[in-house]
Structure 1
Amino acid sequence: MGILVENISKSYKNVAAVKDISFEVKPGELYGLIGPDGAGKTTLFRILTTLLVADKGQAKVAGYDVVQDYKNIRHSVGYMPGRFSLYQDLTIEENLNFFATIFGTSIEENYDLIKDVYEQIEPFKNRRAGKLSGGMKQKLALSCALIHKPKVLFLDEPTTGVDPVSRKEFWEMLKRLQQKDITILVSTPYMDEAALCDRIALIQEGKILEIDSPEAIVKKFPKKIYDIYASNMYGLLTALKDFEHAHSVFPFGEFVHYTDKREGFDSNELKIYLENKNLQDVSISLTEPDIEDVFMELSRK
């Protein structure tokens, strides 16, 4: 059972949070909604999990209409919101038992589904949720979202504020869950996580910019892109933005990613220009684009 979104829009007073969005998540797919804070990801998740009603458009989750069949959807999906929303004064085990009871099941009945996740927090099962680390809170929230064996799993920025090791472990868990025929829709502001999805939708200011597999989206990048380094990063950014042939300039780790307006780009010309700006240790090398480069280019348009 997948997800079908058709022309969904939602506004808060005069602010449009989601603008005429359409996409489809196939059954068993790990689908990413990729975009920065304020892009409309959470609003869309709340519509699809029946917590908000759209102003226009329609959507189906696991075959059910989000308005007419909202009760069926609530029994068929798991939802992990962006903020930790479990009972912080209850222990790990008490939280799990509580959510299992709500759905008329038990930890034991669906243990095979949560086993990979729960085994990592089980040694601390008597610890209150409010006393857990960010990574452990994340694993507890995922266990609670899975306890009733949902057909579709919604994860709204599940790795925000979590350490890199826990992020990596979390995505490995998602890949294993996908093998159990669960459809997963995950949102994230981290562009590197986009490559871990089967398909992605890039979203900015409530609009979908592009939908495809991560590999196909990167292949569409229209220009050659260069890694540029200098010992003075701020001076480098300023000089590149002032360069008359600059198409795009943005920081990327220890480098600046640069594209030129011209087809025939001479890197020596640019190096001389930067050295004349008193920049030291200048290096320019051709590099491969990634999802973040594509997103920045689409955002410019």
Structure 2
Amino acid sequence: MTPASRLLAWYDRHRRDLPWRAKPGEVGDAYHVWLSEVMLQQTTVATVKGYYADFLNRWPKVTDLANAPLEDVLKAWAGLGYYARARNLHKCAEAVARDHGGRFPETEAALRALPGVGDYTAAAVAAIAFGEPATVVDGNVERVMSRLFRIETPLPKGKAEIKTRTATLVPRDRPGDFAQACMDLGSSICTPKKPKCLLCPLQPDCAAHAAGEPERFPVKAPKKEKPTRRTVAFMPTHKGHVLLERRPPKGLLGGMPGLYSTPWEAQADFPDNWAAHAPATGDWQLLDGIARHTFTHFHLETRVAAAEISGRINLPSGEWVPIEDLDAAGLPTVFVKMVALYPSP
């Protein structure tokens, strides 16, 4: 048996039962595959399941998602992080509805031309939903293939070699199942630590196992230390309501609700002149505690200042929300942590 046939035989017995997956040998629904793949980027399967079900309940078809207000999509996305994905999700749905009659194009090249669809997502949808022998490489596949072929080139530079090697194994008859089998193998057997090599269907071919060093792969370049940015955020309240900011459409957390704050800057301590950045005049008091959150490229530490102000000011980017409704406001996790410092009534 070839490595691919052994892996597929293992997959047929041990595949994960996931709500967006078709049965072995069948292709998946393109909308379901695309939606799940976008959600799964940088997010765990356990977390995605609930969001996926909610999105399909709200927007059963890609045309429904295309016609939804962006604000509703962003609110439903809250907690998944990387909000540019949600904006691109909406743009892509609009393009599929507008330019393709509500049907996803069936080739990797045509899928890649859609807004927000990169190489990985295009390959995944093409293989899993349309049976095109595309090469799908995510983090799990990188680990499996770097061990199988004992690829010494450190990531991220080694990604190209990993994809080239993976392409040599992709079968023409079940490319989608092969891609998902690699993912499942990396998730359950070929794990980062203590891989279960005795249970692995690729063990007879694995160069890293033969060398007795599977955990050394994939080789990674030294990580750069993330800088720490510090800010003071503001909670202006008035008669049980709090003023939130609607962030600019582009940039980090674009289009999402949040708290007004000082600039998020790398600095040794919190800014001394923080009160000058307050969105309203008031007796501002710093609350106890520090909210900590980590983004891809930096850590953020936040002190929160609160004040009861004399009236409801109107700011172009502002929105007054009842404090008791903050849980339903669609705040990104970073702002949920900040709001948690505010004492409960």
TM-score normalized with structure 1 length: 0.28
Which has more radius of gyration? 2
Taking CA–CA contacts closer than 8 Å with sequence separation of 6 or more, which of the two structures ends up with the larger relative contact order? Answer: 1
Higher strand proportion (structure 1 or 2): 1
